[in-house]
Amino acid sequence: MKNFINLKDMTTKDLRRILNDAKKRKKKRKKLSTLDLDKDKPLKGKLIIQMYEKPSSRTRLSFHLSIAQLGGGSITIKANELHLGKGGETLADTAKILSTYGDGFMLRTGSDKKIEDFSKNLTIPIINLLSPSSHPCQVLSDIFTVEEIKKKPISKLNICWIGDCNNVLNSLIATSVKLKFNLNVGCPKNYRPPKFVMDWVKKNKRNINIFNDPKKAAKNADVVFSDKVVSLNDKVNKLKKIKDFKNYRITPSLMKVTRPQSIFLHCLPRGNEVSEDVFLGKQSRVWQQALNRVHVQKSILLYCFNKLR
Ligand code: CP
Ligand code: NVA
């Protein structure tokens, strides 16, 4: 049994095993319908419990499909429906109960510590469905999408992130180290990745290029990523932050400095950080990106249950 909490704690080999498994499984489903099971039904008999302390559209639905296609069952609960959420039961007792009824637990939360505490108290795997510091399922799935579209390893591509230094960027930074790809970040000075993140990158003998000028960051990019300026867990002056990012909008003029076949990706939901014509334009692959969550998350689950082929 393994947990899937933070990409920086994974080995390169395991990340590659997950991506390869997803590729094989996706290929085999070409003629299957949404709820048809994968032939081997590797999660048959298993119940996976998803818990959300924050809103989610894609993660909850895509994981519902991932689990169903693997032959497992899932239940989705909101934290405030539990005794734990209302303060009437300890996390340790809740974890014991989750481990009694379920075979896997997934959590979207505003507290990284809560994920850590659950991981210590559960006897079943835990998957991070988004926390303040990381969004590992999203980013591993995005790597899959990039390699699927570009038909080459991400290490041969220029990846650019324009936007806030948030959970998604943290996970992207972690994969840039593990999978060794070039990552340019375009963001205002006050929103740069924190020192401990840059120190970790340096310790691992890699480098991230940070630019104040978004056009410099995007120059010759094969992929431009963006995300909402204000994240679910942000406790900031939202209006000020949005204003601080006003020059970091992804527009056709920004996309012009990228490579000719470049693509635009966004984890969604979106805000004003990308113009409508880019978001809905021919370089955008955001819907394919969202769909691939289903495929990659299946392999993440199989990694947790030691069932990767
Ligand atoms: N991208 C993503 O995680 O979307 P949701 O917040 O809708 O789950
Ligand atoms: N950075 C965003 C991602 C949403 C999927 C957030 O945390 O709200």
**pLDDT single digits (tens) 132-151:** 999 999 999 999 999 999 99
Nearest protein Cα to ligand 1, atom 7:
57
CA–centroid distance, 213 to ligand 2, in Å, is 23
Closest-lying ligand 1 atom to the alpha carbon of residue 290: 1
Closest-lying ligand 2 atom to the alpha carbon of residue 168: 1
CA–centroid distance, 285 to ligand 1, in Å, is 16
Name the 3-class secondary structure at 180: coil
According to the model, what pLDDT value does residue 86 have?
A: 87
Averaged pLDDT for residues 275-301: 98
CA–centroid distance, 205 to ligand 1, in Å, is 32
Closest-lying ligand 1 atom to the alpha carbon of residue 62: 8
State the span(s) of the chain assigned CATH 3.40.50.1370: 7-134+293-304, 136-289
- Secondary element (H or E) of residue 158: strand 158-162
Q: Which residue has the tokens 């070409």?
A: 30
Could you tell me if 75 and 118 are in contact, meaning their C-beta atoms sit under 8 angstroms apart?
A: no
Best mutation site among 52, 56, 168 for ligand 2, i.e. most ligand atoms within 8 A of its Cβ?
Answer: 168
Could you tell me if 173 and 199 are in contact, meaning their C-beta atoms sit under 8 angstroms apart?
A: no
152 contacts: CB under 8 Å, gap ≥ 6: none
Which CATH entry fits the domain spanning 7-134+293-304: 2.60.40.10, 3.60.150.10, 3.40.640.10, 3.40.50.1370?
3.40.50.1370
How deeply is 113 buried, as exposed, middle or buried, from its count of CB atoms within 10 A (0-12, 13-18, 19+)? exposed
Could you tell me if 131 and 167 are in contact, meaning their C-beta atoms sit under 8 angstroms apart?
A: yes
Residue 220: pLDDT above 90?
yes
The CA distance from 278 to 32, in Å, is 32
Token couple for 31: 């003629």
Kindly provide the b/e burial profile for residues 70-82, where b requires at least 16 CB atoms within 10 angstroms of the residue's own CB. Answer: bbbebeeeebeee
Ligand 2 pocket member 166 (CB < 6 A): yes
Residue 85: pLDDT above 90?
no
Residue type, 264: F
How confident is the model over 237-265, as pLDDT tens digits? 999 999 999 999 999 999 999 999 999 99
How confident is the model over 30-57, as pLDDT tens digits? 999 999 999 999 999 999 999 999 999 9
Ligand 2 pocket member 231 (CB < 6 A): yes
Nearest protein Cα to ligand 2, atom 2:
231
Mean pLDDT score of the chain, rounded to an integer?
97
Question: pTM for the complete prediction?
Answer: 0.97
User: Which ligand sits nearest to residue 63's alpha carbon?
Assistant: 1
Could you tell me if 51 and 81 are in contact, meaning their C-beta atoms sit under 8 angstroms apart?
A: no
Give the residue from 243, 245, 190, 252 showing the smallest Cα distance to 218: 252
The model's confidence at residue 116, banded by pLDDT at 50, 70 and 90, is very high
The CA distance from 161 to 224, in Å, is 6
According to the model, what pLDDT value does residue 87 have?
A: 87
**CA-based angle 309:16:185, to the nearest 5?**
155
Residue 207: pLDDT above 90?
yes
Closest-lying ligand 2 atom to the alpha carbon of residue 59: 5
Best mutation site among 50, 51, 53, 56 for ligand 1, i.e. most ligand atoms within 8 A of its Cβ?
Answer: 56
Cis peptide before 193 (omega within 30 of 0): no
Ligand 2 pocket member 228 (CB < 6 A): yes
Best mutation site among 267, 268, 273, 286 for ligand 2, i.e. most ligand atoms within 8 A of its Cβ?
Answer: 267
Which CATH entry fits the domain spanning 136-289: 3.40.50.1370, 3.40.50.510, 3.30.420.40, 3.40.190.10?
3.40.50.1370
